[in-house]
Structure 1
Amino acid sequence: MSRTTDRLLVNGRLVPGSGGTFETLNPATEEILGEAADATAADMEEAIGAARQAFDSSGWATDLALRVRCLRQLRDALQRHSDELRELTIAEVGAPRFLTFGAQLDAPVADLGWFADLAESYEWSTDLGRAEPMGIPSHRRVVKEPVGVVGAITPWNFPHQINLAKLGPALAAGNTVVLKPAPDTPWCAAFLGTLIAEETDIPAGVVNVVTSSDHALGAQLAGDPRVDLVSFTGSTATGRAVMTTAAQSLTKVFLELGGKSAFIVLDDADLRAACSYAAFSVATHAGQGCAITTRLLVPRAAYDQAVEITAKSLRRIGVGDPKDDKTLCGPVISARQRERVESHLELAIKDGGSFACGGGRPADRDRGFWIEPTLITGLTNESRAAREEIFGPVLVILPHDGDDDAVRIANDSPYGLSGAVHGTDLERARAVAARLRTGTVSVNGGVWYAADVPFGGYKQSGIGREMGVAGFEEYLETKAISEGVA
């Protein structure tokens, strides 16, 4: 790589990790790409201190013009290096090339400009006018202020999207940030840190990027009382641990967690189109997306036909080299993740299920972390494969007995992140969508992902919203000021 990917960004300086370096792998080939800086607890301690100092002592929190200029600088710097970043992302994440022109790279980079624009136009102060509470003449206003130091802990599946979805609004709001990325994708974050240090005017300490092979550094960040907000994206189990740790200091948390989203096909839908779309969705990026629909609910009378259509679509998709423009389903991120997916497939068989297609590793690939696009049949919604997040290209197909039953099954989940409804009668489809207990819903293929759309979930899928005005306001505090008047 021509950019520095083996350094931390701490207090404005690109520095080696105190723990040396660790290797990062190409999940499609298992080849070693190179080394990333391996931070220790001491490095994290310094990064948190730098962020605290920058928030308390610099003018970052109050200088809106500087923040807006720096966000646009960062966007422009990332766009200048988009070709290099694209190749890095394909290699390190195993992301299919086509996705890097959307949510894996280009879209979240462009979204930084949206947050800069929002900060410029946002109503930071609201005049409530004069009143006389308890007979005392007062003039009241409400102001919005940055929350302080943000600890951002991010996963490996969409590193640019999630890193920037936290960094953009947090910086626009006037906060300082310590970013702790996943060990599987350290280069994506390290590249970002290098551009911040070398190609923006972001002051020292405002952004700190701490890569490490040690997951304990995330817990250290979440538990430090100098951190005012922990913004975490990852599994529900880890989210619980983050929340428990942060609770010791009553630190505010934002959590975007797991999902087991339902794709509902109504009895008036184009069955072939709907089932093909469901197959496309679950195979994209090897199913490694928390909002991907992984339960396909079809009318009972059409179940066998739906299985045939969906299985045929998944077989046709197959797996492919993420460097190829035509690839939809690349590898999963690691051997550990592949083993996790395989354990869920074994559980599905034990619970009485069978595979209409897929079910294991592709026979023609002996290197890389591959799982075939898989359709599981013969299970109920009570089975573990239908209730637990698998995070692989695995779809469970379930029959339903009409709209009410479909809604019941879809909502019978500990999660509530996303969902989809397909039907010819739009008003009917809208009525079903309105009854789903999820944070996002796609009707007839509508795309909800965008900078201005809040994203998050109900139930065990998280707390709070990311993106949109609602996501920006997660990084703000509200202060009421009242002045006595004559």
Structure 2
Amino acid sequence: MYATKYSSIFRLNQSINHIRRSFFNQTYINGQWVSSQSGETFKVYNPADGNEIGSVPDCNVQDAEKAVQAAYNAFHNKWSIKTGKERSIIMRKFNDLILKNKDHLGKVLTTEMGKPLREAVGEIIYGASYIEWFAEEAKRIHGDVLPITIPNRRSFVLRQPVGVCGFITPWNFPSSMILRKAGPALAAGCTIVVKPAEDTPYSCLVLCDLAKEAGFPDGAINVLTSTRSAEIGKFLCEHPLISKMSFTGSTEVGKKIMAMCASTIKKISLELGGNAPFLVFNSADIKQAVQGAMASKFRASGQTCVCANRFLVQEGIYDEFISEFAKKSKEQVVGDGLNEKTHLGPIINQEQYERVLDFISDAKEQGAKIVTGGKEKKGKTSGFFVEPAVIADVKLSMRVAKEEIFGPVAAIIKFKTEDEAIKIANSVDVGLAAYLYSQDISQIWRVAERIQTGMVGINEGIISSVEAPFGGIKQSGFGREGSKYGIDDYVNLKYICMGGLKDVDRSSQ
């Protein structure tokens, strides 16, 4: 069922004056709100109703050069020369401002991306946690004093900021993906140039407004809103003044990013495709497993890189799990994210909307059973909505079993043995996250250690947290965001050897 359009419009109208102040029509470079040098703009639409939200600058490489130069100047003359404590104070103020304005930021995010408002506000809080965490880490970027082997020498290791960092971020988490990268970069003393997704530029711009208020120096944070993703991406990857690139997106694009960065031997962090397996064994608590499946699969309407993509359910509980999962899925309300009754918002755009429907059609044509959902709500003016779908009797040859869906479609595969489940789970070329449900502690350890992913959730469907290292293996990329390890991608190790020291007189010893 769908949340009423009237209720959504009423809620939006109640707060429209407040929201409009954050739909900036300029981008943010060198601490200033500016138009593109060409004067070109592009429109941004609300995926829930197809209405135009506004227009932002369509930046080109001339604008990108301006942003890089500003970041480079700020790095050397303003930001990296501050002490860790000085950077920490500004970052803590930034965190406080984000949390103070979380409801406002959530409405901006929901309007341009579509996810339910409570999820959007949750994303804001989650993103802010990385600013808070790394504000503390800024004061703890320790070096080392090394043991000596030559008496008149002393050896040290410093950890220094890498320099200017380029970020290319996705539309599914338009606030937290930026903050998760910005936290460690800014804490280390780096400056940043961000290219947000063209579908969701406003969440990035509204954060810049708060960052300026927090006291970041001009040039520390720069934003390039643009439809020229390939052009801007290539420019940043090959620019000699950018020392580090961080990208979250598809494996296909990640490979191109990696290749383009080779020309200048940049440090790279890549968080790419997921296709996460969700394993449910006979010993699992069915209620707990279904609850985890709902959270993992349908958050952000299934448009997350770590959401469960392939449900592998052991034959002893297969029918019961499907029955309970389908029952809960039918209860989900699909509609405008600004309506407080909504559980699932729209698909981000028409291209992705049609792709999700193609997955459902392909599975149906090949003999899978659509247990519930999968119905579409067509039309540009009515938004890109798809009811959450539960698909049973899925074969490994079907697209839903092989490709990352990125939509509210749960493909369920039956398995007999533990070895069979692990073989299926590891059969893809990506390895970001995996989930397993079991009450057998020995089985839990066996499977968790054999599964080929960077993260594993055990009897838990939501695993992301600031304390934990987020990242994958195989073609899901490399590098880790968050945790005590997160700062490592934004610092260089410098070895310093001091020689010629006057040692103690050993002649009489």
Measured against the shorter chain, the TM-score band is: over 0.9
Find the partner of 2:215 among 188, 198, 201.
201
Task: Name the CA shift for 1:192/1:365 in 2 (closer, same or farther; >3 Å).
Answer: closer
User: 1:177-196, CA deviations, whole angstroms, 9 ceiling, x for partnerless residues?
Assistant: 00110000011111112222
Does residue 225 of structure 2 align to residue 214 of structure 1? no
AA partner of residue 454 (structure 1): P
Q: Which structure would you say has the larger Rg? A: 2
AA partner of residue 452 (structure 2): R
Does residue 500 of structure 2 align to residue 481 of structure 1? no
Separation (CA, whole Å) in 2 of partners of 1:446 and 1:376: 19
Q: Percent identity?
A: 35
1:311 is matched with which residue?
326
User: 1:171-226, CA deviations, whole angstroms, 9 ceiling, x for partnerless residues?
Assistant: 000101001100000111111122223x0221121111111122121222122122
Q: TM-score, normalised by structure 2?
A: 0.90
Separation (CA, whole Å) in 1 of partners of 2:296 and 2:71: 39
Question: Does the 8 Å CA contact 1:233/1:257 hold for their aligned counterparts?
Answer: yes
Does residue 31 of structure 2 align to residue 17 of structure 1? no
AA partner of residue 194 (structure 2): L
User: 1:57-84, CA deviations, whole angstroms, 9 ceiling, x for partnerless residues?
Assistant: 3353453232112211211222232232
1:155: how far off? 0.3
When structure 1 is superposed on structure 2, of 174-183 and 443-452 the one drifting more is 443-452
Task: Name the CA shift for 1:351/1:242 in 2 (closer, same or farther; >3 Å).
Answer: farther
AA partner of residue 126 (structure 1): D
Separation (CA, whole Å) in 1 of partners of 2:380 and 2:441: 43
Find the partner of 1:145 among 149, 155, 160.
160
SS at match of 2:166: strand
Question: Does the 8 Å CA contact 1:314/1:373 hold for their aligned counterparts?
Answer: yes
Separation (CA, whole Å) in 2 of partners of 1:425 and 1:234: 35
Task: Name the CA shift for 1:271/1:336 in 2 (closer, same or farther; >3 Å).
Answer: same
1:281: how far off? 2.3
Alignment of 1:20-419 (within 5 A): 20-58=40-78, 60-102=80-122, 104-123=123-142, 125-132=143-150, 137-197=152-212, 199-215=213-229, 216-362=231-377, 367-419=382-434
Separation (CA, whole Å) in 2 of partners of 1:311 and 1:448: 23
Separation (CA, whole Å) in 2 of partners of 1:452 and 1:107: 11
User: 1:42-97, CA deviations, whole angstroms, 9 ceiling, x for partnerless residues?
Assistant: 11111011112222333534532321122112112222322321211111111212
Question: Does the 8 Å CA contact 1:129/1:141 hold for their aligned counterparts?
Answer: no
Task: Name the CA shift for 1:322/1:79 in 2 (closer, same or farther; >3 Å).
Answer: same
Task: Name the CA shift for 1:258/1:106 in 2 (closer, same or farther; >3 Å).
Answer: same
1:452: how far off? 1.5
1:350: how far off? 4.2
Separation (CA, whole Å) in 2 of partners of 1:78 and 1:306: 40
Question: Does the 8 Å CA contact 1:331/1:370 hold for their aligned counterparts?
Answer: yes
Q: Unpaired segments of 5 or more residues in structure 2?
A: 1-19, 503-509
When structure 1 is superposed on structure 2, of 166-175 and 106-115 the one drifting more is 106-115
Q: Unpaired segments of 5 or more residues in structure 1?
A: none
Structure 1 runs (4+) deviating above 3 angstroms are 349-352, 362-366
- In the alignment of these two chains, the number of paired residues is 480
2:22 is matched with which residue?
3
Q: TM-score, normalised by structure 1?
A: 0.94
Task: Name the CA shift for 1:179/1:61 in 2 (closer, same or farther; >3 Å).
Answer: farther
SS at match of 2:313: strand
When structure 1 is superposed on structure 2, of 275-284 and 41-50 the one drifting more is 275-284
Find the partner of 2:486 among 459, 465, 471.
471
SS at match of 1:217: helix
Separation (CA, whole Å) in 2 of partners of 1:453 and 1:165: 12
AA partner of residue 75 (structure 1): N
When structure 1 is superposed on structure 2, of 264-273 and 451-460 the one drifting more is 264-273
Aligned Cα RMSD in Å? Answer: 2.0
SS at match of 1:248: helix
1:382: how far off? 3.8
User: 1:443-468, CA deviations, whole angstroms, 9 ceiling, x for partnerless residues?
Assistant: 11264321121100011111111111
Separation (CA, whole Å) in 2 of partners of 1:171 and 1:59: 8
1:257: how far off? 0.5
AA partner of residue 220 (structure 2): V
Separation (CA, whole Å) in 2 of partners of 1:98 and 1:30: 21
Alignment of 1:432-447 (within 5 A): 432-445=447-460, 447=462
Separation (CA, whole Å) in 2 of partners of 1:225 and 1:345: 45
